[in-house]
Amino acid sequence: MIHTEPTPNPESLKFLSENTISNIGTEEFQKNEIKKINNPFIKELLSFKGVELVLVSKNFLSVKKTKDISWNELKPMVISHLNHYFENNKEPILKEELKRKETKDHTDETVQKIIDVLDTKIRPAVARDGGDIKFKSFENGVVKVELQGSCSGCPSSLMTLKQGVQNLLKHYVKEVNSVEAN
């Protein structure tokens, strides 16, 4: 059974499943990079008219659409695509062999503290809205992050970044002065 939830971004919708969709964490796929994508489910979903971005997480996927298509038209197609996959497959859509290598071997103590705060305090909240946040860099007191899924291009994401993410990071990691989207 697939359920949907709205996100703060009107062009993005969250599709929840009781099945595990990804067992490798959160990954984002964009239509403009469709040639680089090997996963047939993701490739087909991105080829739907109006779909520009797909964020896949453990038990949900977020779809960001263009303004020229309505959710009334697109939502049943996405639900049908998900249901069809799980009727014919028992394993997650994203599994271990497809995982891209992430840079988790940060030795800097401050960077590790920043990543811990992002993973434990910020990422769960962002995931509730159908998005994700990825650490990119930390230099001269400035943390650079990438907003993904529903968060990319969302009207309220800059406010979330400045009031939420920046305030939390400054509170928990004294070396942080500001946060910017990459």
Residue 138 and residue 116: Cα distance in Å, rounded?
14
Confidence of residue 182 (pLDDT cuts 50, 70, 90): confident
Any domain includes 37: yes
**Is residue 88 domain-shared with residue 124, that is, in the same domain?**
no
**Which amino acid appears at position 28 of this protein?**
E
pTM for this entry: 0.68
> Residue 134: what pLDDT?
87
The predicted-structure confidence for 51-89, as pLDDT tens digits, reads as follows: 999 999 999 999 999 999 999 999 999 999 999 999 999
Whether residue 15 is contained in a domain is answered as yes
Judge if 80 and 7 occupy the same domain. Answer: yes
Range of the domain at 62: 2-98
Q: Are residues 57 and 28 in the same domain?
A: yes
Q: 137 and 68 share a domain?
A: no
Neighbours of 11 (CB within 10 A): 19
Is the pLDDT reported for residue 97 higher than 80? Answer: no
pLDDT category at 181 given cuts 50, 70, 90 is confident
Both tokens of residue 45? 């979903």
Structure confidence at residue 72 (pLDDT): 95
Indicate whether 88 and 115 sit together in one domain: no
Check whether 141 has a pLDDT greater than 60: yes
Two tokens, residue 83 = 């249901």
Residue scoring higher pLDDT (42 or 120): 42
DSSP classification of residue 37: -
DSSP letters along 60-116, please? EEEEEE-TTS-HHHHHHHHHHHHHHHHHH-SS-SB-GGGPPP-------HHHHHHHH
Using pLDDT thresholds of 50, 70 and 90, give the confidence band for residue 102.
very low
Q: Please report the pLDDT score of residue 57 as a whole number.
A: 92
pLDDT at 10 over 60: yes
Which has the closest alpha carbon to 161: 134, 130, 138, 128? 134
Share of the chain above pLDDT 70, in %: 93
CATH number of the domain that residue 123 is part of: 3.30.300.130
In a domain, 131, yes or no: yes
What are residue 12's DSSP bridge partners? 64
> Count of CB atoms within 10 A of residue 165's CB?
24
CA-closest candidate to residue 145, choices 104, 105, 110, 115? 115
Domain end among 67, 98, 129? 98
89 and 165 both lie in a single domain: no
Domain shared by 91 and 49, yes or no: yes
- Both tokens of residue 77? 């197609």
CB 126 within 8 A of CB 14: no
> Which range is least confidently modeled, 36-50, 64-78, 112-126, 151-165?
151-165
Asked whether the predicted pLDDT for residue 104 surpasses 50, the reply is: no
State whether 124 and 149 are in the same domain. yes
The residue among 50, 65, 98 that closes a domain is 98
Note whether 92 and 113 are same-domain residues. Answer: no
Do residues 52 and 65 touch, judged by C-beta distance below 8 A?
A: yes
Q: Are residues 118 and 48 in the same domain?
A: no
Listed residues 45, 69, 98: the one ending a domain: 98
Based on the fold, state whether residues 92 and 23 are members of the same structural domain: yes
Whether residue 88 sits in one domain with residue 22: yes
